[in-house]
Chains A and B, each alone.
Chain A
Amino acid sequence: MSDHALSFMPSEGFRARSKEVVENPFLRKSFRGAMDFLINKRVTQFPSAEELETLRTLGEQIRQYNLANLPSLLVQLEDSLTRNGIKVHWAETPDEANAIILGICQAHSAKLMVKGKSMVSEEIELNHACEAAGIEAMESDMGEYIVQLAGEKPSHIIMPAIHKTKEEIATLFHEKVEGVDYTDNVDELIQIGRRVLREKFLVADIGLSGVNFAVAETGTLCLVENEGNGRLSTTAPPVHIAITGIEKIVEKLDHVPPLLSLLTRSATGQNISTYFNMISGPRKADEKDGPTEMHLVLLDNGRTQAYADEELRKTLQCIRCGACMNHCPVYTRVGGHAYGTTYPGPIGKIISPHMLGLEATKTMATASTLCGACGEVCPVKIPIPELLMRLREESFSEPHANPAMRGQGAGYSRLITMVWQGWALVYRSPMLYGTYSWLASRFNWLTPSNQGPWTTVRVPLKPAPKRLRDLLKDKS
């Protein structure tokens, strides 16, 4: 199972994968269209700039307060959940988490697992692990179902199938779902999905879900969704397994309403999602439905590394709304698959290096224009641009002892570092800079006309024959 870590080679293929998308007008249009739609919907949800600002500050305070108390809150959560009859498991790595989940499945001789939307289950590649163990893992969120049917991965954390057109989905259903005629009517397509998946819910042995907020004081797992598949996954099968990163915890129940409001308004521009499902335990003796057994898997997978550093810890404030992606000029152009990581876009760039190490993600933080849009919309005020700068530093600085991150210095090159040091030297000294610019303007005819990728679509860069200072001198 450990070989699936090797399938992550994000830095390697980013260029090639993004080129594919950039050169595909169809994909570009669908990403641009969908992102514009989400951006506009979000704007209508925040008519008051003052309300947005103060609520974001409150969101930031709530997340930072809870992170500051994370270890004791995890223990409190474990106590509360245990009291409520929910079994708590801890996993440091994806492999460990998969082993725990498969262990529960095998104890019930499970054949079919239905899954509500869970990015953490994507993070650990649970579907592969299930397949290897002979357990069918079926995605039930419509977008995830489509993506799974196509043998692909989600391209957006909130809208997994955003890269597919309805015609592609129509063909997919026609080819892969038994007895389905071609239709590109969206209502009909959704009804096909509903019919197929309801049969799965009827017979599934295990329901798996993610968690949006875990409340320590009450031992409550909260789930945000629109479709009802999350509710079905957590209610219909006899066993419910939830999985979450260790950071998604809040101490008090009253921390939930502000975060919920920020989440749904930032994510899809809804004032609230259709369902907010708060689960505080399995079926009681006198109750007539609900799972009879419940588990929660708490996953580390690099989060403790981010936690150890005051600045990097801010990464863990994230409530996974996806707004940073929707507003990212890079994401909008290259799409979610180009990144090659479970979490794409700005949040992916700041969280993935902790999960996968900088060796595999060393250039991810450079796929950014540092325009700052992500930091501006983030509902919990994560300073994403600053973190990107920090990650570049971690990647490209000379390897040193006690690094804050696994793989620090993975992108270090002595030559490049020397070039930049020389550049810094020249630009700091008026004398050196004067000599350099004088030489550059006099010998500008030496600049090559072919400047690699730059000149494929632009005119070559050439120093001006007269420097600004020369022009000023001429004038006076």
Chain B
Amino acid sequence: MSSRDRILAKLNAAPVLPKAVPDIASWYATHRFEETTAEKVARFRGCIEFAHAEVYAVTQATWPQKLCEVLNTKQIEKLLVAPATPHGQRATEVLTETGITFRAYDQSIEAWREEMFHDVPASLTGARGAIAETGTLVLWPDADEPRLMSLLPPVHIVLIDVNTIHNTFYEMMQSEGWSGSLPTNALLISGPSKTADIQVTLAYGAHGPKELIVLLMGEAS
């Protein structure tokens, strides 16, 4: 018998009383309420700002300009972009005019590991959606916009459409049918990387981005 078989045999031998299927839907129905987009935006913003993210209200037309402004204020000279995404494409066009260089994530990490680990000060990614309840960005990295983009650069800039904000994590995975379509890596990000491991003193930029900047697209400015 293998370890697998022995473990399963022991578990199967246990007399187990059946338990009812948990009714998660009705808990959410009675404890979390539908909100208007404006209310969700306000809640999302309040939470993620509390977690130390910088949030800027932008529109479809103004976000590239805000992006440049942010990069200039922070004196960032190079931005990592995903050129195959619409926002990555747009960013490259705008950056070319301003003189800020951009680096495209267009080859596998093995080809440029050193540079990615040491020499990429900032990145721009999109987000699939957000969660108002907890001030959370939801990213589904893929071939065009890989996992490490939102992790290694010290500054991570995220573009998010306010119409994709959901009330709760539960609502989002239900309405989008996540259980049948998860990517290799799905991420919830709710602020810059942080730790309180030394004497419960909060410090940012533990291993991931020190700064998280959210361009909130569609919010009335």
Q: Kindly supply a per-residue 1/0 record for chain A positions 296-307, scoring 1 wherever the CB is within 8 Å of any chain B CB and 0 otherwise.
A: 001010001001
Q: Is A284 on the interface with B (CB-CB < 8 A)?
A: yes
A11 to chain B, nearest CB (A): 26
| Contact of A62 with B22 at beta-carbon distance under 8 Å, contacts A226-B206, A228-B193, A275-B189 already known | yes
Interface pair A271/B16, CB less than 8 Å apart = no
- What 0/1 pattern do residues 235 to 256 of A give for CB contact below 8 A with B? 1100000000010000011111
CB distance from B155 to the nearest CB of A (A): 14
Contact A189 B198 (CB under 8 A): yes
Which residues of A269-297 have CB atoms within 8 Å of chain B's CB atoms?
271-284, 286-290
What is the CA–CA distance of A62 and B209 in the complex, to the nearest angstrom?
Answer: 34
| Chain A binder among B71-79, B89-97, B102-110 | B102-110
**Which residues of the partner chain A approach B173 to less than 8 Å between Cβ atoms?**
253-254, 257
B22 pairs with A71, CB closer than 8 A: no
Instruction: List the B residue with the shortest CB-CB distance to A275.
Output: B189
- Residues in chain A near residue B174, CB distance under 8 A: 254
A78 to B167, CA, bound (A): 33
CB within 8 Å of A: which B148-197 residues = 148, 151, 168-170, 173-174, 178-179, 182-197
Interface size class of A (residues with CB under 8 A): 35 or more
B99 → chain A closest CB, angstroms: 27
For A159, give the chain B residue with the smallest CB separation: B197
Closest Cβ of chain B to A141, distance in Å, is 7
CA of A33 to CA of B199, assembled, Å:
9
Contact A92 B107 (CB under 8 A): no
Q: Flag whether B66 is at the interface (Cβ < 8 A).
A: no
* Residue numbers in B under 8 Å from A228 (CB-CB): 151, 193, 206-209
Decide if A289 touches B195 in the complex (CB within 8 Å): no
The A-B contact count (CB < 8 A) is 250
* Docked-complex contact B207 and A287, CB < 8 angstroms: no
A159 touches B186 (CB 8 A): no
| Chain A 331-370 residues near chain B, CB threshold 8 A | none
0/1 per residue, B187-221, Cβ < 8 Å to A? 11111111111111101011111000000000000
Nearest A residue to B199, CB-CB: A166
Kindly identify which residue among B114, B146, B190 contacts A289, using a CB–CB cutoff of 8 Å.
B146
Chain A residues, CB < 8 A from B13: 308
Interface centre among A30, A38, A159 (most CB of B within 10 A): A159
**In the complex, A70→B22 CA distance in Å?**
15
List residues of chain B with CB within 8 A of the CB of A218: 178-179, 182
A220 B108 Cβ-Cβ under 8 A: no
A231 to B186, CA, bound (A): 11
Could you say which of A61, A186, A309 contacts B199, with CB atoms under 8 Å apart? A186
Residue of A with least CB distance to B203 = A190
Report if A75-B188 is in contact (Cβ < 8 Å); known contacts: A68-B17, A227-B207, A228-B208. Answer: no
Complex interface bits, B49-75 against A, C-beta within 8 A gives 1, otherwise 0: 001000000000000000000000000
Contact B117 A304 (CB under 8 A): no
Residues A142 and B206 in contact, CB atoms below 8 Å apart: yes
For the complex of A and B, list the 8 residue pairs with the smallest distance between their C-beta atoms, beginning with the closest.
A228-B208, A143-B197, A227-B206, A276-B188, A228-B207, A272-B134, A304-B10, A90-B4
Q: Beyond A283-B184, A298-B7: 4 further Cβ-contacts under 8 Å?
A: A55-B31, A235-B151, A275-B187, A275-B190
Can you show 26 pairs from A to B with CB atoms below 8 A apart? A34-B199, A55-B31, A71-B11, A74-B7, A90-B7, A142-B195, A160-B197, A186-B203, A187-B203, A189-B198, A190-B203, A194-B206, A228-B193, A235-B148, A246-B11, A260-B169, A272-B135, A272-B188, A274-B194, A275-B193, A276-B187, A289-B147, A298-B7, A300-B7, A304-B11, A308-B14
